[in-house]
Amino acid sequence: MTETASPPQAPAPAPPRRPRLPVIPGPLETAALAWRRLRRMSTALLLLFALAAASVVATVIPQEPVTARSVADWRSGAAGPGAPVASVLDALSLFDVFGSPWFLALTVLLFVSLTGCLVPRYRAFARTLRRPPPAGRNLSRLSHHEVLATTLPPGAALDAADAVLARRRFRRRRVGAAGEQLAAERGAWREGGSLVFHTAFYLLLLGAVIGKAFGFTGQITLAEGSAFAETRIAYDAAEPGRYWGLDDHRGFVVALDDFDVSYFPNFTPRDFVSTVTVSEQGQQVRTERIRVNHPLRHDGMTLYQLGFGMAPHLIVRAGEQVLLDERVLLTPQEGTPNLWAGTAKVKFDDLRRQLALDLALVPNAALGADGQPVITADPRPTNPVLVGSLYFGELGLQRPVPAAEFDRGDGPVDTAMLRPGATAELAKGSLTVEFADLGYWSGLQVSHAPGRELLLLGGGLVLVGLLPSLYSYRRRVWVQARAADGGAAVTVAGVALHRKAAFDDEFAAIVAALRAALPSATPPTQER
């Protein structure tokens, strides 16, 4: 459509002497030229292809926001095409395609192009809507036409035809000096739907931008019996939007009262549920259950159930002094189902005499022939065994690295195997470790996602607009009546502006409906 808008540019007359040098267009001309280019349908098509190409790249190359670990492996050369290639990919922002400047530029271009397309189409659409259905001429020359005879006088016959076409949602008007023709048109909403649909993309964009700029997402792991305050420092990981400030945190306190997981007989988790109590200013306001697919919404924040894990309660003492008294969060071990592991940093104030425990837990252990616990397929903690390995010395625990990474040096100085409620002595009795009980931790995601309503509205409009833009067709129909012996001769004719193949049947249906609405005059003598 916009295709036709720009006639081929006449080549600017070049200065005769230096034919090589192009005439440099002024900034306004350049802008006008660029605008015309952007408005072309073929430009839109190329932009769509570019968008598709970007997403292929993002499917094949790991993306940092999604699979950070794979990206790290590609960067180090441990996986993927090797470190040198990875550095090139990095330079092109290919590890974060959707956050890259060139993707932003592509989006902007697409929306500029969209605007360029839509503005003239809106004008044309408004014109179409205002313009009444055009009068038909030479109806009997049209490929679809039919003459019916009726006993009704011409005026009444046209009224009846008007009712028939109204039922079929045609816009109608009377034309001719005496109103002897009924001109009707339908299908304008094909274009209208397309406009709604394309316009809805602005809403989607706006919703996404608002969500990104003013939103917040954070993850937290919470052991049973503990609580966190909704503040920035509480989160293990957080992704605040650019305009999400520290003051925007709500400050309410969420306590994990209980966590429960149930399994199917084949040990697939059936459901996991966190029971939490939310308090505000020291007042408990509500107690709710958070399950997968059933988040808790509170004060503009939404809490989702993500993962869970085992959290044994450990008490480590040196004589009477309690060095550690907390639930240690264990994580599942990749590749070994039903093995949970973690690290307890017991003491790290004295750099040379640090203490740490490596922990491994089997929730439902069978005892092997050698007295060692054996992992079973049952994930339920009905017979848990905890193995703790003690490390002592210069462990480097003070470094800001994940707890599991410390200097294990010559290996553990001692090892103990515990069941819930048991206490073991370590390092010749200088330490005792008590496995007080076994609980769970729950992984929650907390997020604030403004713009969701806009996205929903935009999505809805995309669908609402898409349907007529694909399935409604423009048709014009004319009905003309002329007095003929005692009644009227009614001529019906029509043309299809799109999808002509389907019009034969539609026209036949209209004619049939007209025939039913007009008292029949065939054979005319019978009625007399």
Partner 1 sequence: MADESLAQTSNTLFNVAFLTYIAAMVAYFFRLAFTRVSADGAIAGTAAGRRIGLAGTALAVAGLAVHLGSVVARGLAAGRVPWANMYEYSSMLALGAVAVGLVVVQRRFGYGHLVGFILAAAVLSMTTGLLLFTEAGPVVPALNSYWIKIHTSAAMGSSSIFIVGFAATALYLVKDTAERRVAARSGAAFAGSTVGAAQTTPVDARPEGYEADAALDDRDVVASPLAQREALSPVLFPLVPGVVVALFTLLVWRAPGGAIVAGSVAALLGTAAWYAVPFLPPAARLDNLAYRTIAFAFPLWTFAIMAGAIWAEEAWGRYWGWDPKETGSFFTWVLYAAYLHARSTHGWRGRRAAWVAVVAFGALMVTYYAVNLWIVGLHSYAGDI
Q: Are 328 and 466 in contact (CB under 8 A)?
A: no
- Binding part of the chain for partner 1, among 264-272, 337-345, 365-373, 478-486 by CB under 8 A, reads 264-272
- Binding part of the chain for partner 1, among 286-294, 403-411, 412-420, 507-515 by CB under 8 A, reads 286-294
Q: Could you say which of partner 1, ligand HEM, none residue 201 binds, taking C-beta under 5 to 8 angstroms by partner kind?
A: ligand HEM
- 274 is a site residue for ligand HEM (CB under 6 A): no
- 105 is a site residue for ligand HEM (CB under 6 A): no
- Binding part of the chain for ligand HEM, among 109-117, 292-300, 406-414, 437-445 by CB under 6 A, reads 109-117
User: Least separation, in Å, of the C-beta of 381 and partner 1?
Assistant: 18
Options 77, 155, 225, 307; binder of partner 1; rule CB under 8 A: 307
User: Least separation, in Å, of the C-beta of 294 and partner 1?
Assistant: 8
Q: Give the nearer residue to ligand HEM in terms of CB position, either 30 or 42.
A: 42
In the window 175-234, what residues touch partner 1 (CB under 8 A)?
Answer: 208, 217
- 48 is a site residue for partner 1 (CB under 8 A): yes
Residue 341's closest CA among 354, 320, 324, 357? 357
Long-range CB contact pairs, 319-323, < 8 A, 24+: 323/347, 323/355, 323/431
Quote the CA–CA distance of 185 and 30 in Å, as a whole number.
Answer: 42
Number of residues that bind partner 1 (CB under 8 A): 65
Look-up of token digits 């129909």:
477
Quote the CA–CA distance of 215 and 448 in Å, as a whole number.
Answer: 5
Report the interhelical angle of 503-517 vs 154-167 (nearest 10°).
Answer: 130
Q: Give the nearer residue to ligand HEM in terms of CB position, either 112 or 315.
A: 112
Strands (E), 328-402: 331-333, 336-347, 354-362, 365-367, 373-375, 385-393
User: Least separation, in Å, of the C-beta of 60 and partner 1?
Assistant: 7
Phi/psi of residue 393, nearest 5 degrees? 125, -150
Q: What is the DSSP string of 216-267?
A: EEEEEEEETT-EEESSGGG-SEEEE-TT--GGGS---EEEEEEEEEEE-TTS
Options 113, 150, 181, 480; binder of ligand HEM; rule CB under 6 A: 113
Task: Compute the radius of gyration of the chain from its Cα atoms.
Answer: 38
Q: Are 217 and 247 in contact (CB under 8 A)?
A: no
Residue 290's closest CA among 277, 303, 280, 279? 303
Quote the CA–CA distance of 143 and 426 in Å, as a whole number.
Answer: 99
- Binding part of the chain for ligand HEM, among 113-121, 256-264, 366-374, 440-448 by CB under 6 A, reads 113-121
Q: Could you say which of partner 1, ligand HEM, none residue 321 binds, taking C-beta under 5 to 8 angstroms by partner kind?
A: none
Q: Give the nearer residue to ligand HEM in terms of CB position, either 312 or 458.
A: 458
In the window 200-259, what residues touch ligand HEM (CB under 6 A)?
Answer: 201
Residues written for the chain? 528
Phi/psi of residue 231, nearest 5 degrees? -135, 165
Options 117, 276, 362, 496; binder of ligand HEM; rule CB under 6 A: 117
- 68 is a site residue for partner 1 (CB under 8 A): yes
- Binding part of the chain for ligand HEM, among 20-28, 111-119, 400-408, 503-511 by CB under 6 A, reads 111-119
In the window 449-508, what residues touch ligand HEM (CB under 6 A)?
Answer: 469-470
- 253 is a site residue for partner 1 (CB under 8 A): no
Q: Give the nearer residue to ligand HEM in terms of CB position, either 198 or 475.
A: 198
DSSP SS3 for 27 = helix
Residue 132's Cβ-side half-sphere holds a number of Cα atoms within 13 Å equal to: 9
Q: Give the nearer residue to ligand HEM in terms of CB position, either 32 or 508.
A: 32
Q: Are 490 and 514 in contact (CB under 8 A)?
A: yes
Options 32, 52, 108, 509; binder of partner 1; rule CB under 8 A: 52
Options 112, 339, 466, 513; binder of partner 1; rule CB under 8 A: 466
Q: Are 312 and 419 in contact (CB under 8 A)?
A: no
Residue 384, class by beta-carbon neighbours within 10 Å (0-12 exposed, 13-18 middle, 19+ buried)? Answer: buried
In the window 386-445, what residues touch partner 1 (CB under 8 A)?
Answer: 445
Q: Could you say which of ligand HEM, partner 1, none residue 293 binds, taking C-beta under 5 to 8 angstroms by partner kind?
A: partner 1
Quote the CA–CA distance of 527 and 520 in Å, as a whole number.
Answer: 9
Q: Which residues lie near ligand HEM (CB under 6 A)?
A: 1, 41, 44, 110, 113-114, 117, 194, 198, 201, 469-470
Binding site for partner 1 (CB under 8 A): 1, 3-4, 41-42, 44-45, 48-49, 51-52, 55-56, 58-60, 62-63, 65-70, 79, 97-98, 208, 217, 264-266, 268-272, 291-295, 302, 304, 306-307, 445-447, 449, 452, 455-456, 459, 462-463, 466-467, 470-471, 497-501
